Amino acid sequence: MKKEKFILAYSGGLDTSVILAWLKENYNCEVIAVCIDVGQGDDYDAVTQKAFNTGASKVYIEDVKEDFVKNYIFPTLKAGAVYEGKYLLGTSFARPVIAKRLVEIAEKEGATTIAHGCTGKGNDQVRFELTIKALNPSLKVIAPWRIWDIRSREDAIDYAKERNIPIPVTKEKPYSMDKNIWHLSHEGGDLENPWNEHKTDMYQMTTPPEECPDAATYVDIYFEKGNPVAIDGTKYEPVELLEKLNDIGGKNGVGIIDMVENRLVGMKSRGVYETPGGTLLYTAHKELEYLTLDRQTMHYKELIAQKYSELVYDGMWFTPLREALDAFVDSTQTFVTGTVRLKLYKGSAKVAGSQSPYSLYSEEFATFGKDEVYSHKDSEGFINLFGLPLKIRALMMKKNEEEETKEAI
């Protein structure tokens, strides 16, 4: 009888290495390992060889970095979406682009099942599985962490050692890390106690601020319709642009976030995130919107940003609402074109200047000096009309108070 084909979201790390062997032991299936390159910088020849050595029948290495940056990162950037005021969603929007490719390969291979290494405590299981349901609900999903007897990373390490599967972690340093072209996250280990100050030796994308240059670095970022397209006057393709900003921001200690967040599944978790280039882009993009968006649009867009961040965090990328919000956001970005200059210094990224051909800032109107375009007398009528409801309410209150006083007498 022909074996069923299972697609495994494979990284070569502890969890997926163990899962590959476990699937073959427990399901008597053919396992196709699929490693999606979103910029984690792995040795993919080694990953391929390891997958074959662990029992994979076929291995895919899929480079989706351009799709990831253009169609997931940039739309979220334009929306201004930041989860709980801190998190720039690095892991969150990587999951739908990965899951989408898994579905496409499953359809190509005639596979019946997709397996992933997400735990039952995390958000990623939701993000993967909602994407699969949205794109091909006929595919089955297996999440071993929800059904096997392995109960901890230590158990998984023991399982791997028993089967001579090489793994990149030890019980002494059990950090869980997720890296892509946008960010690097760190969880677990001593980070599980929020009172513990995180150790800077964990950084891989970022220089500790204390060790950064003593002189400030300036960088100009140019946007067209909300999309970043140039650095210091030189145009770059999206992937190259983000890589360059990661280098600039990282060398200046920018983009380190330590936060306790509310997971979708109900618990709080603590993570340390490195997002150097992304922090520069968010800072610059927001500043350009201050210059080019009118008050009502900007304030309403801030409401949209919060909802957008929740959709991304919750794994609801492939939904009608997210698509509708994108249409709104794209409309707001029509005139978000211009350059923002940032000053980077020992972990900070401050705005040093901004300009746009579509700037709504007018020095003629804003000046405290003499001008010929604004009549101060006009403000009196505006205040009278704007405050009319307050005046009417105050008159009503006074009238009632007078009547109550008369009745009391």
| pLDDT tens-place string over residues 93-134 | 999 999 999 999 999 999 999 999 998 888 999 999 999 999
pLDDT above 90 covers a percentage of the chain that reads 85
Instruction: Please indicate whether residue 95 is annotated as part of the active site.
Output: yes
pTM of the full structure: 0.92
pLDDT band at 174 (very low <50, low <70, confident <90, very high): low
What is the CATH code of the structural domain delimited by 179-363? 3.90.1260.10
Catalytic residue among 101, 153, 176, 269: 176
Q: Is 297 exposed, middle or buried (0-12, 13-18, 19+ CB in 10 A)?
A: middle
Instruction: Please indicate whether residue 124 is annotated as part of the active site.
Output: yes
Q: Which residues contact 269 (CB under 8 A, 6 or more apart)?
A: 187, 260, 261, 263
pLDDT band at 39 (very low <50, low <70, confident <90, very high): very high
| Pairwise CA distance, residues 324 & 70, whole Å | 18
Is residue 269 within 8 A of residue 263, CB to CB? The reply is yes
Catalytic residue among 37, 124, 178, 220: 124
pLDDT, residue 381, reads 92
| pLDDT tens-place string over residues 201-219 | 999 999 999 999 999 999 9
For 5-70+81-172, which CATH class?
alpha beta
Ordered DSSP codes for 108-144:
HHT-SEEE----TTSSHHHHHHHHHHHH-TTSEEE-G
Annotated binding site: 9-17, 87, 92, 117, 119, 123-124, 127, 176, 185, 261, 273
Residue 404: is its pLDDT beyond 70? yes
| Ranges of each domain in the chain | 5-70+81-172, 179-363
SS3 267: coil
The two tokens of residue 143 are 């999440």
For the residues 9-19, what does the mean pLDDT come to? 92
Instruction: Please indicate whether residue 43 is annotated as part of the active site.
Output: no
pLDDT, residue 48, reads 97
Tell me the sheet residues that pair with 187. Answer: 176
| Pairwise CA distance, residues 46 & 207, whole Å | 28
Cα dihedral 66, 68, 72, 78 sign? negative
pLDDT, residue 171, reads 57
pLDDT band at 365 (very low <50, low <70, confident <90, very high): low
Cα radius of gyration (the chain): 27
Annotated binding site for L-aspartate: 119, 123-124
pLDDT, residue 168, reads 65
SS3 31: strand
| pLDDT tens-place string over residues 274-332 | 999 999 999 999 999 999 999 999 999 999 999 999 999 999 999 999 999 999 999 99
Annotated binding site for ATP: 9-17, 117
Instruction: Please indicate whether residue 375 is annotated as part of the active site.
Output: no
Catalytic residue among 15, 37, 178, 220: 15
